[in-house]
Amino acid sequence: MLLREVEYAKPASVAEALAILKEHDGARALAGGQTLINVMKARAASPDMLVDLNGLEELKGIELAGDGTLTLGAMTTYTELMASAEARARPILGEVCATIADVQVRNRGTLGGNVCSNDPTNHLPPLMCAVGAEMTIASSDGERTVPAADFFLGVYMTAVGPGELLMRITVPAGKSDGFAAVTLGADGTCIANAAASVNGGVRVALGCVDAVPVLLEASSVDEVGAAVDAAGLQPPADVHASSEYRAHLARVLAIRAARDAAGRS
């Protein structure tokens, strides 16, 4: 289906982008377009104006600090992250990005677009929660930083409000991470997924089982199954999985991801 007519702006700076977003109620940021253009074609979203973030250098780049902290520009594509020597400081990031969809989607899709769309089947929301990422959001009033655990608010809803932009994602140092998913075909959409981090405590974030990632902490890897049971998951049912089967997958994947993470200590 063709797009309906839409205005288009390509700002030269973040300040200009924020001013346009503030001025136009119906304006939406355009990153890789891999979600937004598709939902516009399906008429599930109908912004009046697209504010193209491509070309904003302030949203690009991957930096590795001396203490191992990674700063990832919101407009970093999956392919750029996979190719980045700096990003190998937290290997799980590139490993998971390499399993997202296909090469076209990975070449265009961005980290910022993935987390800002907060599709519950996406790979990155649970991963960012498990690794303890922080999101920096800008508005015309300045910047604020939100932990990933508080960033995801509902299906397609995040802490990025109208007139705001995600600037960057900060990921602390760590190597003991794991990820496990059951997908529709190889590298397809997730039916259930789990990300785990055992850098210090044991943190597991479950995807596809609720509107936002379900973040759990366990005293040890052996306690992860009990932590999932205690969470009382009531996942949605769909054509791919009943609620009970998805809950079962979540438990199996949580344990698998946590063991994967512990194996990398």
Burial of 170 (0-12, 13-18, 19+ CB in 10 A): middle
Q: Is 67 exposed, middle or buried (0-12, 13-18, 19+ CB in 10 A)?
A: exposed
CB of 36 to ligand FAD, least distance (A): 3
Structural tokens at position 204: 């597991």
Q: Which is nearer to ligand FAD, 60 or 198 (CB)?
A: 60
CB closer to ligand FAD out of 189 and 243: 189
**137 C-beta neighbours (distance < 10 Å), count:** 21
Shortest Cβ distance from residue 113 to ligand FAD (Å)?
2
Helix (H, G, I), strand (E, B) or coil at 157: strand
**Which C-beta is closer to ligand FAD: that of 33 or that of 236?**
33
Q: How far is the CB of 92 from ligand FAD (least distance, A)?
A: 14
Q: Which is nearer to ligand FAD, 165 or 198 (CB)?
A: 165
- Alpha helix (H) ranges present in 59-110? 78-83, 91-97, 103-108
Residue in the shown chain whose Cβ atom is closest to ligand FAD: 113
- Chain residues that interact with ligand FAD, rule: CB under 6 A: 28-36, 38, 53, 74, 100-101, 105, 108-110, 112-114, 116-117, 122-124, 160, 165-166, 189
Q: Which is nearer to ligand FAD, 72 or 218 (CB)?
A: 72
DSSP letter at 75 equals: T
Residue 221 CB, shortest distance to ligand FAD, in Å, is 25
CB of 57 to ligand FAD, least distance (A): 13
H helix or E strand, kind and range, residue 218 = strand 214-218
Around Cβ 212, how many Cβ atoms within 10 Å? 22
Q: How far is CA 248 from the centre of its chain?
A: 23
* Both structure tokens of 226: 């009990």
Toward ligand FAD, which CB reaches closer, 6 or 101? Answer: 101
Q: Which residue has the tokens 């007139």?
A: 163
CB of 237 to ligand FAD, least distance (A): 20
